Amino acid sequence: MGNTFTNNPVEDLNLEILLEYEQLKGERTTLRKAFAVMLNQSSRDQESGYAEMVLETARIILEDMNLGPDSVKCLILKNLADKGVLSPEMIELEYGTSVRGLIEGIHKLERLDTKKYSTNKENFIGLLLTLSEDIRVLLIRLGMRLYDMRHLSDYLAEKQHLIIGETLALYIPIAHRLGLYQIKNELEDRVMRATDPQTYASIEKKLSETKDDRDQYTADFILPIEKRLHENGFSCELKSRVKSIPSIRRKMVAQKVEFEKVYDLFAIRIILNKTVENDPADCWKIYSLVTDIYPPNPHRLRDWISFPKPTGYESLHTTVIGPEGRWVEVQIRTRRMDEIAEKGFAAHWKYKSGSKAQAEAEKYARIREMLETPTQSSLEKSVSTEKKALYSDEIFIFTPKGDLKRLKLGYSVLDFAFEIHSEIGSTCTGAIVNGKMVPLKYILQNGDTVKILTSKTQKPNPGWLDIVKSPRNIARIKHALKMESYKEADYGKEIIKNKVTQSGFEFSDPIVNKLSAYFGCENIMDLYQRIGEGKIDPLKIKKALLEPEPGIPVIPVKEETFPERVSGMMAGKEDFVIIDPRIKSLHYQFARCCTPAPGSAIFAFVSVAQGIKIHKTTCKNAHQLITWYPYRVLEARWKNEE
């Protein structure tokens, strides 16, 4: 048994039992040393149950996950790291870089705020799978969660509620996807036992009461099948399995029946050992032999051999009437099909949910296969590489309120701001990431908590195109820049609309398109912008409107002089302003740009902010005001003009 290093014979015995696992061979001395340090610290801190937790969780990760000594060291030393007894540097120096990385990875998972897991289940699952580059971190955490569920009564009610909720929403799906079915089933079982104890106890009691009858029935059912298969030269393995209590409960709810009416309470699986080219044909032959003995329900035949599921799953499922008229589900497959179904393209979680891509199914299956591989070095070196590919192009980001957002790897703060809302993106000035101020170009990391900072004066600029990675966000910025370049377009549109109306035409798309083509503009917005900027003379709009269509003779149009145009415009005005220089009026002001004097030719201009302004017709601004805003111009007359 080896020398012990503690003063607790019970713990020493349990440790030595643990050290008998094959994976720990060659590391037993180091593990004894680490355990002694941990136990002595726990004694000083009066944590009597910590050693039991470490030993039980270690057995879980050794037996169900085939992890190795570094993972066990992580469990032993984690509490010492939590308390600061051992620094990360000391752990790395004495126990290796791998152990330090595992402990730090566990700390990352424990620091996650999972309060909103119920509304972000898939994103939280993705985060848990990717937060650490080493998947052993997640597997160790799964082992710790199974321990928590086994000892749920040790926690306060509020903590129990959190553990159950997280287990149901996050850890059960993860165990399922990784093919850790034994852990998944036990977690489901313990969740139901805690949340619905009466129903659980009722089904458990009925299963117990019917066990002997069920075992005898199964033996009687299988016996003639085994005989017939042997007579026909088939080498097969026949398995019988009873559904788990949570699974039975789901069947009862889905089928709206009592326990006694669940016809597929247990199933028989026939696995053909021989693997040759005519595998599918052999499965059908076995089906024929079984249905010769027991009549099938034709509505319950599922042929996933002729038409495999998209996941690659192949099997024949049928339901037959066994002795005493009881329904029994029979699954027929080859050894190859069974292996694929269990850990290949169509792992159980995949063909049940059917929502993930086949490539992702392969990655999960390879992880599971390596977990089952007895060669520890293969697991330690390869499993994390496979795991990285699961979400290799995605990260998961927390908002300040605890919501979890999925983002592409390599995306910046500015990308994230636009992903929240285009308005937030357009006004983003930076962010606070994990409590620190960062610029727009900061590349976000998996698990970051990000608060976007905005300003009403912020606007997109061309430099942003070098920061964002998302094609959609690039398009958003380009559109915003384009719209910014058209900021004078509203003024231009107003000018064109009035000029078109004054010329006796209806302001419509065909008219505007004609003007756009006449002036050689790229589009309508370009026309509006150029008019608004004064790059196109509005006086030419009437000429453009009178331009005949191709093939129609051109009728020359006499170009009006500016004085003629002003005179014609004033003649049609019914409204006019009387100007008396002796009286200071509240309704008008003399423009400073030209300082009108009695007797000079004048006009009135209605400004937006300063009321009526009186200008000379010879004012340097007169041409622009009358041309651009003719609808704001009024006739002005001097009182006693003679």
Residues 6 or more apart in contact with residue 340 via CB below 8 angstroms: 312, 313, 314, 346
At 320-345, the pLDDT tens digits run 998 888 888 899 988 878 776 654 33
Q: For 625-642, what is the mean pLDDT?
A: 75
Residue 572 pLDDT > 60, yes or no? Answer: no
Residue 533 pLDDT > 70, yes or no? Answer: yes
Residues 6 or more apart in contact with residue 363 via CB below 8 angstroms: 386, 387, 389, 390
| C-alpha span between 40 and 51 (Å, rounded) | 10
Q: Are 618 and 594 in contact (CB under 8 A)?
A: yes
Q: How confident is the model at residue 389 (pLDDT cuts 50, 70, 90)?
A: very low
pLDDT value of position 310: 54
**Residue 631: CB atoms within 10 Å:** 13
Closest alpha carbon to 251 in 265, 270, 236: 265
227 vs 381, residue with greater confidence: 227
Question: In the chain, what are the domain boundaries?
Answer: 9-196, 198-355, 395-470, 489-545, 562-638
Residue 373 pLDDT > 80, yes or no? Answer: no
**How are strands ordered across the β-sheet holding 302-303?**
236-242, 266-272, 327-334, 316-321, 302-303
Strand 316-321 relative to strand 302-303, pairing? antiparallel
Q: What is the CATH number of domain 198-355?
A: 3.30.460.10
369 vs 161, residue with greater confidence: 161
Q: How confident is the model at residue 414 (pLDDT cuts 50, 70, 90)?
A: very high
For 440, what's the count of Cα atoms within 13 Å in the CB-facing half-sphere? Answer: 23
Q: At what angle do helices 136-150 and 69-82 cross, to 10 degrees?
A: 70
**Residue 279: CB atoms within 10 Å:** 17
User: What is the average pLDDT score of the chain?
Assistant: 78
Structure-token match 């030269």, residue found: 233
Q: For 183-193, what is the mean pLDDT?
A: 91
At 128-143, the pLDDT tens digits run 776 767 788 888 999 9
In CATH terms, the fold of domain 9-196 is Hypothetical protein af1432 (1.10.3210)
Instruction: Please state whether the predicted TM-score (pTM) of the whole model is above 0.85.
Output: no
pLDDT value of position 581: 65
Element (H, E) at 275: none
CATH of 395-470, one of 2.60.120.10, 3.10.20.30, 3.40.50.2000, 3.40.50.12160: 3.10.20.30
Q: At what angle do helices 69-82 and 28-44 cross, to 10 degrees?
A: 20
